[in-house]
Amino acid sequence: MSALQYCPDPYRYQRRPTREVNVGGVGIGGSNPIRVQSMLTCDTMDTEACIEQTMALAEVGCEIVRITAPTIKDARNLENIKAGLRAKNCPVPLVADIHFKPDAALEAAKWVDKVRVNPGNFADSKKFAVREYTDAEYDAEIDRIRERFSPLVTVCRERGLAMRIGTNHGSLSDRIMNRYGDTPLGMVESALEFARISREHDYHQFVFSMKASNPKVMIQAYRLLIARLDQEGPDWNYPIHLGVTEAGDGEDGRIKSAIGIGSLLADGIGDTVRVSLTEDSVHEIPVAQALVAPFNQAMIPAGLEPDFPAPELGFDPFDYRRRASHSVLVQEVPVGGEELIRVPTTQDNYLKLAHKLGQLGDFAPEFVVESSGVVEIDPRDSDAVQTVNDSIDAKLITIPNEIDLPPITAFRLLAARVQERHPILLKDTLQPATDAHADFTRTLLNSSTAIGSLLCDGIGDAILIQGEEAPGQSMRLAFHILQAAGSRIFKTDYVACPSCGRTLFDLQSTTGRIKEATIHLKGVKIAIMGCIVNGPGEMADADFGYVGGAPGKVNLYVGKQAVKFNIPEAEAVDRLKDLIREHGKWQDPKPATEAETAPSA
C-alpha cells in the first residue's frame, strides 16, 4: 500500500483546508463555499451573445464564467464583453481560457479576473513524437517554458489576477508523455512544473485542476496531486477545481460527472467545480449546485465515530486494481473474481418486473438479493467480521440497511476489515427509497457518487440501487453507472466534449446524429470533439473519433490517428459509419428494448 496520503481520514469527512484565491471578488478555497462555474459556448467575437449567455448563467447561480480566447483578437474582445456586462450590472468574474497562445493570455490578462492555462499546450505543440530526454535536455525544456510562462505570471501578480493551472489528460505535452507516460503522475508533474515557476515569482493566486474523461484517471490524478502538494509543504495549500472533461450529455454526462466530482468532494477535495455537459451551459449549473449543496450546507454525515480505530485502506488510492475476490455461485450466476460486476434486484422489484423480463434486454436483473445467501455485516462489529473471515468458503457480503454510516465509509471499512476473497454487494444508500415522487436527478447524482466512488476504488462485485423506487429505472441507473465508471460496458461508449467558442460545429446536434446512428454498437467507444485542444489525447483509448478540423469540415480518427481529413460536415456521420465498417466493428441495429426506450433524466 502506498505511503502517500490524499486526505487526513478516508473514513471521516473533513474538507481539505486551503488558502483563499480571489477571483474578481469571489473567494475560492479558505472558508468560502464550494463555487460553481461554467463556460460560454458562443464565439468570443460575438459580443452580444457572450453578454447574453453570461447573464443567463449568472441568473441560474453560476458564480464564475470562463470564455475561450484562442487568438489575440478574441482576447481583445474580452474588454467589450466585460464592459457590456458591467454596464448591465452583472458583476460575475470572467476567466480567459488559453490554449497554445501565450500572447493571447497576455492580452486577456488586461481584461479578465482570472486566466486558465493548460500546461500541456501553453508552450508546447503536441506531435506524439517519441524521443528520450536526457536530464540536461529536460532541464532545457523547463527553461524554455519558464521564458514563455514568466511574463504571464508577472502580469497576474502585478494586477492581482488569479490563475488556474489546469492539466488535461488529453493534452499532455510530448515531453511529459515521453518521461512519465499517459498517467496521473504525468498530469501532476505537468502542473507542478508551472506551479514552481509561479512560486519563483512569489505568485500564489492560483488553483489546480486535473481533468480527464475517464473518472478513474481523474480521481487518481487529483489524489496524487494532493499527496504531492502535502509533501511539498504546508504553504502548497492551493485550492482545487474539479471537473470531468468530455462527460457527454443526458444521464450519461450527469452520472460520469457525479462519479468523478462527487467522489472527490466526499473525500473533502474540491473548492470549485464545473460540470461539463454537451448541452446548453445553463443546464450544467443545477447539476453542479446539487453536487456541492450537501457539502456547502454541512449535511455530510461525519463517518466513523471518533473513537473507532481507522484501519489501513483495503485499496491503493493511487493505482486502480479491482479487489481480488473469489467467484461464488449465486442463483447459478457467478459473482466476484474476474466475473462481470453483477446487477441484482430485490424480491419486490423482481415481482414487479417479472411480466416483462424478456423485454428488458441488457437491463434485466441477474439475481434476487433476498435469495442470494448474502451475509450482512456491520463492519464495526468485530465478531461478525471474524466469523466471516473464519469461514472456509468465500461469502457474498454486504452492509445491512439502516446502519448509521455513509455508504462510502461503510463499504471502505468492510473492504478493509474483511478478507479480499469475499465478494461485496454494494448499495448506493443504506436508507431504501420510499417516495415514488422523489427527484430522480438528485437520486441519480447520489447513487452515482456512492457507487461510482467505490467502483473506482476497486471495491464491488455487484451493485444494488436502493435510492430509486421505480424498479425499471433503478435497473437502468445501475447499468449506466457501471458503464460510466468503465466497470462494465453494455452499450456504445461516447466521449463528447462540451461546446465552447473553439468548437467548429454544433456539438449538441452532431452528438445527437452520431448517437442515433451508432447507439447500438455495444462496446465501441466513439469520441466527439469540437476542436483539437483535447481531441487526439482524449481519443487515445477511443476506437473512433469525430473531430472538428476547420469550419464546416471534420477529421475522422482511428484511435489517436487521423485517417480522413476535411470531410464536409453533411457527409461526416455517414463517413464515420463507413470507417466503423472498414474496421469490422459495425453491426446492424436490433429493435430497442423497453428499458432502452424509457425516458431518462
pLDDT at 484: 92
Tens digit of pLDDT for each residue in 219-236?
999 999 999 999 999 999
Output the 3-class SS for 489-551: CCCCEEEECCCCCCCCCCHHHHHHHHHHHHCCCCCCEEEEECCCCCHHHHHHHCCEEEEEEEC
Q: Which of 221, 228, 438 is nearest to 242 (CA)?
A: 221
Cα dist. 466→91, 164, 404, 427, 473 in Å? Answer: 43, 39, 16, 7, 11
User: Can you tell me which residue has the cell 460520469?
Assistant: 256
By three-state DSSP, how is residue 329 classified? strand
Q: Where in the sequence of the chain do the CATH 3.20.20.20 domains occur?
A: 118-293
pLDDT at 502: 55
pLDDT at 459: 98
pLDDT at 203: 98
| CA–CA gap between residue 352 and residue 262 (Å, rounded) | 31
| CA–CA gap between residue 289 and residue 273 (Å, rounded) | 9
Cα dist. 255→2, 342, 577 in Å? Answer: 29, 18, 27
Structure confidence at residue 600 as a pLDDT band (50, 70, 90): very low
pLDDT at 595: 46
* Residue 550: pLDDT over 90: no
What number is the average pLDDT over the span 175-192? 92
The helix-helix angle for 135-159 and 184-200 (nearest 10°) equals 60
pLDDT at 490: 81
| CA–CA gap between residue 205 and residue 523 (Å, rounded) | 43
H-assigned helices in 304-362: 347-353
Average per-residue pLDDT for the chain: 90
Highest mean pLDDT among 17-26, 470-479, 497-506: 17-26
CATH class, 493-582 region: alpha beta
pTM of the prediction? Answer: 0.90
Burial class, 48, CB count within 10 angstroms (exposed 0-12 / middle 13-18 / buried 19+):
exposed
Say if residues 150 and 195 touch (Cβ distance below 8 Å).
Answer: no
Q: Residues 200-210, buried b or exposed e (16+ Cβ, 10 A)?
A: eeebbbbbbbb
What number is the average pLDDT over the span 508-524? 83
- Angle, vertex CA 66, rays to CA 65 and CA 72, nearest 5: 135
What number is the average pLDDT over the span 374-391? 97
* Residue 534: pLDDT over 60: no
pLDDT at 524: 86
Highest mean pLDDT among 286-290, 431-435, 503-507: 286-290
More confident residue, 96 or 552: 96
* Cα end-to-end span (Å), the chain: 39
Structure confidence at residue 532 as a pLDDT band (50, 70, 90): low
Pairing of strands 162-168, 114-117: parallel
Tens digit of pLDDT for each residue in 250-270?
788 899 999 999 999 999 999
Q: Which of 44, 41, 23 is nearest to 32 (CA)?
A: 23
Structure confidence at residue 457 as a pLDDT band (50, 70, 90): very high
pLDDT at 599: 42
* Residue 343: pLDDT over 90: yes
User: Can you tell me which residue has the cell 480521481?
Assistant: 219
Q: Of 60-64, 300-304, 400-404, 450-454, where does mean pLDDT reach its minimum?
A: 300-304
DSSP annotation of 170 reads G
Q: Of 59-63, 170-174, 484-488, 575-579, where does mean pLDDT reach its minimum?
A: 170-174
Cα dist. 402→1, 368, 407, 410, 416 in Å? Answer: 32, 20, 11, 12, 21
pLDDT at 249: 66
% of the chain at pLDDT higher than 70: 92
* Residue 182: pLDDT over 90: no
What number is the average pLDDT over the span 477-493? 90
- Residue 460's identity, in one-letter code, is G
Other Cβ atoms closer than 10 A to 559: 15
- Phi/psi at 150 (nearest 5 deg)? -60, -40
pLDDT at 601: 41
Q: Where in the sequence of the chain do the CATH 3.30.413.10 domains occur?
A: 493-582
Q: Residues 129-153, buried b or exposed e (16+ Cβ, 10 A)?
A: eeeeeeeeeeeebeeebbeebeebb
Structure confidence at residue 559 as a pLDDT band (50, 70, 90): confident
Cell numbers given for 177: 508523455
What number is the average pLDDT over the span 549-569? 83
pLDDT at 500: 60
Per CATH, which fold does 118-293 belong to?
Answer: TIM Barrel (3.20.20)
| CA–CA gap between residue 354 and residue 368 (Å, rounded) | 12
Other Cβ atoms closer than 10 A to 364: 17
Q: Which of 56, 63, 121 is nearest to 95 (CA)?
A: 63
Cα dist. 199→24, 154, 272, 539 in Å? Answer: 21, 11, 22, 33
Cell numbers given for 530: 469540437
More confident residue, 160 or 131: 160
Structure confidence at residue 195 as a pLDDT band (50, 70, 90): very high
Cα dist. 3→224, 264, 474 in Å? Answer: 11, 19, 38
* Residue 552: pLDDT over 90: no
Output the 3-class SS for 363-422: HCCCCEHHHCCCEECCCCCHHHHHHHHHCCCCCCEECCCCCCCCHHHHHHHHHHHCCCCC
* Residue 501: pLDDT over 70: no
DSSP annotation of 467 reads S
What number is the average pLDDT over the span 332-348? 96
By three-state DSSP, how is residue 427 classified? strand
Q: Of 8-17, 244-253, 413-422, 507-516, where does mean pLDDT reach its minimum?
A: 244-253
